[in-house]
């Protein structure tokens, strides 16, 4: 793992490091209906929970948390994943950044981390979540966010799906989440040599279990890579 043993971080608030307070628990409220459900965190930039048909709220169910790219919104990536959720019966939580991109990209952990904590707790109020299958996934800036906050919260995050991201900001990693990284050889925004191959090698050197997929494409989401990522998460 990444070695920060020489750093004394005890004086820092765990929140500033990006640590989530969320813990798994038994549901206390009725399940939400199938389809897209707004969680009521904000009038304009709310989080969405997608619930497939046939989810038993008492049975441990996988959850995939999906972080959008810069300038995007909670629902923009859902069409790429909803058919897989319907077929393989997992929940999708799509948070939404307060600003055009995630707080960690702009200035550090702040309100987006707080709202993510709240959203996870709301989902757990309605459904029993599978601790062995809770993934943070994202594309572009959302990829960087998923990778950074996922490694920071490996206590609860079992899998990380990082597609076409640029950076990694982790001060105090925990746990051993499995990592899926994908990147296009013709990415015109983030060179594959550094952002793809370099990041995968960095994490392998830190002893993480890394699956790296390189495709012959630009800076876009690919259906075939999404399918591979879902298989990585569930198989």
Tens digits of per-residue pLDDT, 74-108? 999 999 999 999 999 999 999 999 988 998 887 77
| pLDDT (0 to 100) of residue 85 | 98
For residue 133, count other CB atoms closer than 10 A to its CB: 16
pLDDT at 187: 96
Structural domains in the chain?
25-233 (3.40.50.1820)
Quote the pLDDT of residue 4.
Answer: 42
* CA–CA–CA angle 235, 150, 50 (5° rounding): 60
Q: How many CB atoms lie within 10 A of CB 231?
A: 13
Q: What is the number of alpha carbons within 13 Å of residue 39 lying toward its C-beta?
A: 27
Structure tokens at 9: 């971080």
Closest of 45, 2, 31, 43 to residue 174, by C-alpha:
2
> What gap in Å lies between CA 50 and CA 41, rounded to an integer?
15
Extract the residue ranges of the chain whose pLDDT is less than 70. 1-14, 16
Please give the order of strands across the beta sheet that includes 48-51.
Answer: 35-38, 48-51, 91-94, 61-67, 129-139, 159-163, 178-184, 210-215
């Amino acid at each position: 793992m990444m070695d920060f043993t020489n750093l004394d971080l005890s004086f820092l608030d765990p929140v500033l490091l990006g640590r989530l307070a969320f813990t798994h628990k038994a549901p206390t409220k009725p399940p939400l209906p199938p389809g897209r459900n707004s969680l009521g965190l904000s009038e304009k930039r709310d989080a969405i929970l997608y619930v497939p048909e046939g989810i038993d709220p008492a049975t441990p169910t996988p959850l995939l948390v999906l972080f959008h790219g810069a300038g995007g919104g909670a629902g923009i990536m859902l069409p790429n994943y909803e058919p897989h959720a319907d077929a393989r019966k997992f929940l999708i939580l799509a948070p939404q950044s307060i600003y055009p991109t995630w707080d960690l990209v702009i200035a550090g952990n702040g309100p987006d981390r707080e709202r993510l904590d709240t959203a996870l707790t709301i989902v757990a109020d309605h459904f029993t979540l599978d601790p062995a299958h809770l993934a943070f996934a994202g594309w572009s800036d959302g990829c960087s966010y998923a990778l950074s906050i996922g490694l920071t919260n490996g206590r609860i995050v079992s899998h990380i799906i990082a597609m076409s991201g640029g950076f990694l900001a982790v001060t105090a990693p925990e746990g051993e989440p499995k990592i899926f990284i994908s990147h296009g050889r013709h990415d015109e925004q983030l060179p594959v040599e550094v952002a793809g191959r370099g990041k995968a090698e960095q994490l392998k050197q830190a002893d993480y279990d890394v699956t790296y997929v390189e495709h012959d494409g630009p800076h876009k989401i690919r259906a075939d890579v999404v399918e591979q990522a879902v298989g990585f998460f569930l198989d």
